[in-house]
A and B are shown apart, each in its own frame.
Chain A
Amino acid sequence: MISPKSTSTVHDNPFMKPMEWISLALLAAVIFLVLPMLLDAFRLNLVGKYLTYSFVALGLVICWGFGGILSLGQGVFFGLGGYLMAMFLKLEASSVENTKIQSTPGIPDFMDWNQITELPWFWKPFTSLPFTILAVIVVPAFFAFVIGSAMFRRRVGGTYFAIITQAIAAILTILIVGQQGYTGGINGITDLRTLNGWDIRTDRAHNILYFVNGGLLVACILFAQYVKRSKLGRILVAMRDKEDRVRFSGYPVASFKTFAFCLAAVFAAIGGAMFTLQVGFMSPSFVGIVPSIEMVIYAAVGGRLSLFGAVWGTLLVNWAKTTFSESFPELWLFGLGGLFILVVLAFPNGLAGIYRTYVEPRLTRRVKALEPAPAVALPHAAE
């Protein structure tokens, strides 16, 4: 390696710095080795469910942490992904064979209960798996594009955007609950069985899906890392702090914001689709205001500027939630509420911030002896 004083090394922009490779290796080891060895099938499936939320948190790091755009409607995209996948699985579970006791065989049971006698047009394409997979990506991205470009071009500020995305989450929930003949209503789409004939309810299937989910998560982290270290990532940070300056450096600010929002939406939708596959149902309780804002706290606890922090934060909060609500259900809401306040007041950069302030300086002192890493730190939050 060339000496760190040489400008070409200093101005290099490596894909990941050594510490980031270590973080990735650590995360991968925990997801792929430690947890599968330690946990039984039920608990591992539970962790798999948590990890689907971390897709949302990952998107929020890009969109909120870097771009400063707080969306309180990520449940919409998580839900869209989940529902689109559920539609495919439900149609497969509603074969004429399986539903012959219904008055109209071959349609999902909840439609039959609601006196619907024919499959609605927007359900029909979901008999195809490739179409479904495509839709899981494209539909949320399109939604986010419409919302984002309408609002960012009109310079809608942070707080307004948060309020309006929250309203959209509320609207979608009411719509899903109200249109139960088409959506399964408050119960959601349940009783999902097979994926192209493969039973997804067995322990073995859960196990495989857990690893697929983990793989997708690592892929999304790598893509997010690519975005973060690209010029686009730096522009997002620059835009968050000095939007006008970026605009007058010749960048179409609205397009960059829309991109960040769309990316966050697609990540959330992938998480949603994986949620449906692993948990076996999808319901409006993952779409609305409450889950959407809870997903923000995952990113906040992990550290709104840290991709890896987002995953750890999600795991930690959900682990706490499960533990507390199993043993002290009343205490959990106090705990969660306190967590929101604590993170905002005392640790605005979450776990990653604590790590960077207290742990990293010591670690790098030791690592430095081995590897002369350039000290170009990731931009920290303004606070």
Chain B
Amino acid sequence: MLGDYSLTDLSSIFVMQGFAGLILFSVYTLMALGLAIIFGQMGVINMAHGEFMILGAYMTYLCSGFFQTHLPALFPAYFFVAMALAFVASGALGMLVEWALIRHLYKRPLDTLLATWGLSLILQQAYRTIFGPREVGVELPAWLIGSVQVTDTIEIPINGMFVMAITLLITAGVALLMYRSRFGAQVRAVVQNRPMAGAVGIDTEKVDRLTFGLGCGIAGVAGSAFTMVGSTGPTSGQLYIVDTFLIVVFGGAASLLGTIASAFSISQTQSTLEFFLSGSTAKVITLLAVVGILMLRPQGLFTLKVRR
């Protein structure tokens, strides 16, 4: 199949597909970052993570509509407001869910899985009732539309670059927060030894709630970014949940760097394969490779050896 293309064609294909992969990588990374915090740090399997993402997407959709009709002058900047709103809405819902549901189940990880699946069904139906069953798209401000011509054969869409920049910013922010701030230290203390963390005066319940909220909030921002590359429907989030979990597990659940590396390798493999094979075959091969590697190396790519 490679023989039909010249070398220049091929390199252009790799760059273009690579870039298409980078947008996918951005959405995956943001989704996975949130999940890595919730699953990797707290050990909670949040099957409703995709619905938190979609909440962010709907928030962006609402913002887009609101600015168009009421504040058209500020429309070019609406996306920043939308992302902040997405973060707040998903984060707040996440904290509510932690309070009502998750905190009762910390000792039963498999049961959180079932309960959050129930939650995801409820949220999907709620979206369907509120926003209707049809997929919705957002209006992009003019400055995000179009692409930059790099060479004759390679052009890069502006919104893609924007999403990537946002992703990098958020990733850096999360890394700072988790590894450099007092809050991050508290989260890790609670994860490693809950009773001890409580004994030294950390409000473990508050840390749990904030951690879960943070993970969900980042999912909301992922949803905001998602609106630029896909349209939003009540069940759009469900399509991403398996991929996202695989990414987190593949990266070695406790490692942020691993999560990013794994999101990168998975999205790049998939989008490169997609050019040559049908979309579904590309996806099957990618997922099979990940599952196969995980069967041989279940601890993921980045892990430490400790005494059990």
Chain A in direct contact with chain B (Cβ < 8 angstroms): yes
The A/B interface has a contact count, at CB < 8 Å, of 122
Note all chain A residues with C-beta closer than 8 A to B280.
174-175, 177-178
Closest chain A CB from B22 CB (angstroms): 23
Q: Are A340 and B45 in contact (CB under 8 A)?
A: no
Q: Are B118 and A171 in contact (CB under 8 A)?
A: no
Q: Are A345 and B101 in contact (CB under 8 A)?
A: yes
Interface residues on chain A, number (Cβ under 8 Å): 44
Q: Are A174 and B122 in contact (CB under 8 A)?
A: no
A174 touching B121 in the complex, CB below 8 Å, given contacts A159-B45, A160-B249, A330-B128: no
Q: Are A178 and B291 in contact (CB under 8 A)?
A: no
A163 touching B125 in the complex, CB below 8 Å, given contacts A154-B295, A175-B284, A336-B118: no
Note all chain B residues with C-beta closer than 8 A to A227.
none
- Considering the chains assembled together, what is the distance between the CA atoms of A162 and B288 in angstroms? 16
Q: Are A171 and B128 in contact (CB under 8 A)?
A: no
Point out which of B114, B115, B123 has the most chain A C-beta atoms below 10 A from its C-beta. Answer: B114
A250 contacts chain B at the CB level, 8 A cutoff: no
Q: Which residues between 131 and 173 of chain B lie within 8 Å of chain A, taking CB atoms?
A: none
Q: Which residue of A lies closest to B47 (CB)?
A: A293
- Considering the chains assembled together, what is the distance between the CA atoms of A147 and B296 in angstroms? 11
Q: Which residues between 83 and 120 of chain A lie within 8 Å of chain B, taking CB atoms?
A: none
Note all chain A residues with C-beta closer than 8 A to B124.
333
A34 contacts chain B at the CB level, 8 A cutoff: no
Note all chain B residues with C-beta closer than 8 A to A338.
118, 122
Q: Which residues between 255 and 308 of chain B lie within 8 Å of chain A, taking CB atoms?
A: 278, 280-281, 283-284, 287-288, 290-291, 294-296, 298
Q: Are B108 and A164 in contact (CB under 8 A)?
A: no
Closest chain A CB from B233 CB (angstroms): 14
Q: Which residue of B lies closest to A297 (CB)?
A: B114
- Considering the chains assembled together, what is the distance between the CA atoms of A309 and B295 in angstroms? 33
Q: Are B295 and A167 in contact (CB under 8 A)?
A: no
B81 contacts chain A at the CB level, 8 A cutoff: no
A337 touching B284 in the complex, CB below 8 Å, given contacts A345-B101, A345-B104: no
Residue from B112, B118, B246, B298 in contact with A167 in the complex, judged by beta carbons closer than 8 Å: B246
Q: Are A340 and B278 in contact (CB under 8 A)?
A: no
- Considering the chains assembled together, what is the distance between the CA atoms of A174 and B239 in angstroms? 11
Q: Are B117 and A340 in contact (CB under 8 A)?
A: yes
Q: Are A171 and B287 in contact (CB under 8 A)?
A: yes
Residues of A within 8 A of B (CB): 64, 70, 72, 147, 150-151, 154-156, 158-160, 162-164, 166-168, 170-171, 174-175, 177-178, 289-290, 293, 296-297, 300, 330, 333-334, 336-341, 343-345, 348, 383
- Shortest Cβ-Cβ A-B pairs, 10 listed: A340-B118, A178-B280, A337-B121, A337-B122, A333-B125, A337-B118, A344-B115, A341-B118, A150-B295, A156-B298
